């Protein structure tokens, strides 16, 4: 499929519906959009092949399964060349749920979830700060997640 393919109105409508409720059956989407379910299947296959849709998953509430602390971690590397090795090591720390290579003050920025502050201290001291190349870290504990959403996909003409 061509890399410069532009999403059309139908693609955006399908994606918008699935982003609101990933469990909605393709037949229901088809009925709502007045097209065949087969068209939905073909479009979704195309969107997956293009890398627009990266997969589907369900999400749990970490605090409901015993992970009450969410923290963000600014990671300072001694040298930028240590980035790839640090990523390999950080992938082995299950509490690290997101990791970003950043510009600005930090080399990397991570989101971690822990059971409590004692667990957070253990993860920092025994798993993250011992990684070769990690010079130091700066931790920010989240008190509340106020907004969490995906990017909104709308056809400019629909606004």
CB 33 within 8 A of CB 13: yes
Q: Do domains 9-58 and 62-142 have the same CATH topology?
A: no
Residues 6+ apart with CB under 8 A from 126: none
Report which of 112, 109, 107, 134 is spatially closest to residue 122, judged by C-alpha positions: 112
Provide the 8-state DSSP code for 126.
Answer: I
The rounded distance, in Å, linking the Cα atoms of 91 and 100 is: 12
The mean pLDDT of 17-46, rounded to a whole number, is 93
The mean pLDDT of 4-16, rounded to a whole number, is 87
pLDDT of 159 strictly over 60: no
pLDDT of 88 strictly over 90: yes
Q: Which residue has the higher pLDDT, 152 or 136?
A: 136
The helix (run of H) or strand (run of E) holding residue 121 is helix 117-122
Structural domain boundaries in the chain: 9-58, 62-142
Backbone torsion region of residue 104, taken as left when φ is above 0, otherwise alpha when ψ lies between -120 and 50, otherwise beta: left
- Global confidence as pTM: 0.80
Q: Give the percent of the chain with pLDDT over 70.
A: 94
The rounded distance, in Å, linking the Cα atoms of 31 and 9 is: 16
The mean pLDDT of 47-74, rounded to a whole number, is 92
CB 138 within 8 A of CB 91: no
The rounded distance, in Å, linking the Cα atoms of 13 and 40 is: 11
The mean pLDDT of 15-44, rounded to a whole number, is 93
pLDDT of 114 strictly over 80: yes
**CATH of the domain spanning 62-142:** 3.30.70.920
- Cα dist from 51 to 3, 48, 71, 124, 128, whole Å: 10, 5, 30, 34, 31
The mean pLDDT of 80-92, rounded to a whole number, is 95
Q: Provide the pLDDT for residue 156.
A: 60
pLDDT of 4 strictly over 70: no
pLDDT of 129 strictly over 50: yes
**CATH of the domain spanning 9-58:** 1.10.10.10
The mean pLDDT of 81-99, rounded to a whole number, is 96
């Amino acid at each position: 499929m061509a890399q410069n393919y532009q999403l059309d109105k139908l693609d955006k409508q399908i994606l918008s519906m699935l982003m609101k409720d990933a469990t909605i059956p393709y037949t229901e989407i088809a009925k709502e959009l007045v097209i065949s379910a087969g068209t939905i299947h073909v479009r979704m296959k195309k969107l997956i092949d293009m890398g627009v849709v990266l997969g589907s998953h369900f999400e749990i509430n970490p605090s409901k399964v015993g992970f009450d602390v969410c923290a963000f971690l600014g990671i300072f590397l001694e040298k930028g060349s240590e980035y790839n090795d640090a990523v390999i090591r950080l992938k082995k720390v299950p509490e690290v749920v997101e990791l970003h290579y950043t510009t600005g003050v930090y080399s990397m920025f991570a989101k971690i979830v822990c059971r409590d502050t004692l667990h957070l201290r253990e993860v920092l001291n025994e798993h993250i700060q011992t990684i070769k190349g990690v010079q130091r870290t700066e931790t920010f504990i989240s008190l509340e997640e106020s907004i969490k959403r995906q990017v909104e996909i709308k056809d400019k003409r629909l606004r």
